[in-house]
């Protein structure tokens, strides 16, 4: 505390002396002397305050708060608003464990998600699950195998695809829609959209939607997953203005690294130990482990009394 006070005192002392020396008949030295006397009183007061009890500090807190607000009042309001508008957030959550529901309460962005109606968790009073897959590119025909399992088990899902995926895997995209699954937007070029101008965000989304519509005839595209889970107030607002609901997740694990696959049992354990009512499950379709474990994951979820629903059937969103 004393170092901070001395630093502030030094700055004020020098500034005050220079200011006073501009007065008629006053030298820098005499001004410095007056400033020293004044700052001595201020320092004594600050030093005394540093020895206050915790209760006393709370008593003077309003004055400190006002001083802090005054110090920031000189910053341009529009600059602060612009910074908050485009501030990037990386989605994260506290995982479900031992029956305790997942939470985003400590992540700092819950109010923002509620404001824009973004989803991370469905109705926690219902034993319903939502399967979601991210498809940035295709790997070893794994998406076809995933579709085979979903068809066999009669389970709906949504596939969030990029522009690259639409261009390189048209037959798989058509199969997704013909077999009753939803296709969601994962952006055209997979950029960090949190700091993009809103018009650029809208263009990224429009390009995917048009490509899918031209390919499949399906005009409707209501759901978006921001690339890498990075978002901002501006990005959420821009996508909502285009009719999208942002879909995050409440179950996930490190499955996207194709060079670090650890086997079907690993995928099975990571997903089934996190199951909870209203769960939005994020899986990457490039994961061999996911493709091999998916059937067992679905069977175990059914055994625990869960049913799989389409995002179109989600009746309630939960924020916690």
What confidence tens digit (pLDDT) does each residue in 5-61 have? 434 444 433 344 334 344 333 443 344 344 434 444 333 333 333 333 332 322 233
Burial of residue 4, with CB atoms counted within 10 A of its CB: 0-12 exposed, 13-18 middle, 19 or more buried: exposed
Assess whether 59 and 96 both reside in one domain. Answer: no
Would you say residue 67 lies in a domain?
yes
Tell me if residue 222 is catalytic: no
**Domain final position from 74, 102, 126:** 74
Would you say residue 83 lies in a domain?
no
Would you say residue 79 lies in a domain?
no
Residue-range definition of the domain harbouring residue 66 = 2-74
Q: What's the average model confidence in pLDDT over 254-271? A: 98
**Domain final position from 74, 100, 122:** 74
Assess whether 45 and 183 both reside in one domain. Answer: no
Q: What is the mean pLDDT of the chain?
A: 83
Looking up residue 284, the CATH number of its domain turns out to be 3.20.20.370
Q: 0.85 cut: is pTM over it?
A: no
In this predicted structure, which of 65-69, 83-87, 142-146, 277-281 has the lowest mean pLDDT? Answer: 65-69
Assess whether 69 and 119 both reside in one domain. Answer: no
User: How many independent structural domains does the chain possess?
Assistant: 2
The pLDDT of residue 269 is: 98
Among 190, 233, 284, 289, the one annotated catalytic: 284
Among 134, 233, 255, 289, the one annotated catalytic: 134
Assess whether 69 and 148 both reside in one domain. Answer: no
Assess whether 101 and 248 both reside in one domain. Answer: yes
The pLDDT of residue 34 is: 43
Would you say residue 65 lies in a domain?
yes
What confidence tens digit (pLDDT) does each residue in 76-128 have? 666 777 788 889 999 999 999 888 999 999 999 999 999 999 999 999 999 99
CB atoms within 10 A of CB 37: 9
**Domain final position from 74, 102, 125:** 74
Tell me if residue 284 is catalytic: yes
Q: What's the average model confidence in pLDDT over 251-272? A: 98
């Amino acid at each position: 505390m004393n170092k901070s006070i001395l630093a502030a005192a030094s700055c004020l002392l020098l500034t005050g002396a220079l200011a006073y020396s501009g007065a008629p008949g006053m030298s820098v030295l005499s001004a410095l002397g007056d400033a020293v006397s004044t700052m001595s009183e201020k320092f004594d007061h600050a030093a005394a305050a540093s020895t206050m009890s915790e209760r006393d500090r709370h008593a003077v807190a309003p004055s400190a708060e006002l001083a802090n607000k005054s110090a920031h009042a000189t910053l341009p309001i529009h600059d602060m608003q612009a910074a908050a508008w485009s501030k990037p957030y990386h989605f994260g959550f506290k995982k479900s464990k031992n029956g305790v529901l997942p939470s985003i309460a400590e992540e700092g962005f819950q109010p923002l998600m509620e404001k824009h109606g973004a989803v991370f968790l469905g109705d926690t009073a219902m034993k319903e699950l939502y399967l979601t897959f991210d498809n940035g590119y295709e790997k070893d025909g794994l998406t076809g195998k995933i579709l085979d399992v979903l068809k066999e088990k009669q389970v709906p899902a949504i596939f969030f695809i990029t522009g690259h995926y639409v261009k390189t895997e048209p037959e798989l995209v058509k199969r997704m829609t013909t077999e009753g699954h939803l296709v969601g937007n994962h952006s055209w070029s997979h950029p960090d959209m949190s700091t993009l101008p809103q018009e650029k965000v809208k263009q990224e989304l429009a390009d995917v939607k048009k490509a899918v519509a031209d390919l499949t005839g399906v005009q409707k595209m209501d759901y978006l997953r921001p690339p890498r889970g990075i978002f901002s107030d501006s990005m959420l607002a821009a996508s909502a203005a285009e009719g999208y609901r942002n879909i995050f997740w409440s179950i996930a694990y490190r499955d996207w690294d194709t060079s670090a696959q650890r086997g079907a049992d690993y995928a099975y354990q990571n997903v089934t130990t996190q199951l909870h009512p209203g769960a939005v499950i994020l899986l990457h379709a490039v994961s061999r482990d996911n493709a091999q474990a998916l059937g067992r994951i679905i069977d175990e979820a059914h055994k625990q009394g869960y049913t799989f629903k389409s995002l179109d059937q989600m009746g309630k969103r939960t924020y916690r």
